[in-house]
Structure 1
């Protein structure tokens, strides 16, 4: 009897150990990628403030705002991921600060993408008017409107939360791990999210597609700079891909909840880790890849700053000091 039970116990222990090892590996991979892109984004943010050209050109000012929002979004998502992985339960209001930061920055990114797409459209289709339309002042106003729209979104959620609390008294500590779904737990938030996300991404998508079509129509003109038009088309396509990934990330929690009803913990953890990398990390690093590698002005400064620590840590060559 004991001999038949012992192999089953050993097999169960081995599977549990294997599951824990796999989950640890997936978690380390996700955290490692997040930290790597946080570093790249931070260096690029520093680079965009290192030269007057970047501070006085509309496209670079908009890029800085997009990178700032993406970095804040990536940081908040990483903190939520670590807290859930370590099974840490936060006080309700501490969780609310993290969730509201994540929600606010998730709105800023697509709106900034729309403004950047319109800026590329004007630069290609109306090059003589571009400098007059997209000045430092008008770009700053556009960024302020983007942040104001995001602030209104947070206010609406706050008023809805107060309405929910009139009927439900929240506990001091959350019963579940900190997440947007656990914080905005009432069904009214899901209805609001569907309408808001659908409207937002429909408008932003329309702005990007309209800009793309406009550049395509103008690209065939004799007087158009072909190289500039081709580069703008590639940029707009990448913006559309970035927007699609961001839209999918808003639906990711619904997909996870549906899968969790039928699949086990290991399968759910695998899907969650892969989705975290593809839908939370990847959209937040595309801006650095699109502009940091494709833009020659940024690439030189970015590579210099990225390699600066390596050069500083390398001991100087003695031959340089020999006379």
Structure 2
């Protein structure tokens, strides 16, 4: 009898803890509600990778990313969604339990080259996110890298410590060291966004903002406290963070830290973030 093809909806119900066990990762501690692991996505000595047993969702606090079991397999195995579904569906295909390959970058990523954005697949991806190429090319690069012996390419946003946030149609990850990204032109006002596509969406919506503000991209709300000293340099700070729980908490934290901060998220009320709102605007106008 032919085995039933696993679709995304069914795959998302597969237990993350059991999947991690197949991959050779076991919890450091566990309660009725959650399990904590050493991150399978990067090197660490204290467990910051949480799996909600109730929701069957994971979140890597050190990397600032999370999702379902399909997302996790894609990141660990550096494979496509189709390949992840195949692995989750076919128990005869063993998951590797070998120790991770050691790279100069402790995230498992080694940067091979950084150049001007030009690959058609990346340009199509920018277009699908509603981003103008001229704007993206001012802040982002085309980054070629290896992860676990395989070669990849992505849109890269460099952070102030030299690491890159990496995005393409299939993957969301980043190289070490992890940090915030800061773009200074010695303005007296600062705009803070949560992620790469929030910044690009805002500037696609209003390109003139680039001439009157400095910009800071958190890359993860986990790095919010790294902004505190920077904020003292500005007379006005505009916050464009996500409208989910994590984004709202980060906004409230900054509002209490500096009286010059102003929450601007009403612009995209009813949407999770700037990019969701911007795509909707483009669809309405198109």
TM-score, structure 2 normalization:
0.27
Higher relative contact order (CA 8 A, sep 6+): 1
Q: Determine which structure has the larger helix proportion and give its number.
A: 1
| Structure with max Cα Rg | 1
Q: Determine which structure has the larger strand proportion and give its number.
A: 2
TM-score, structure 1 normalization:
0.24
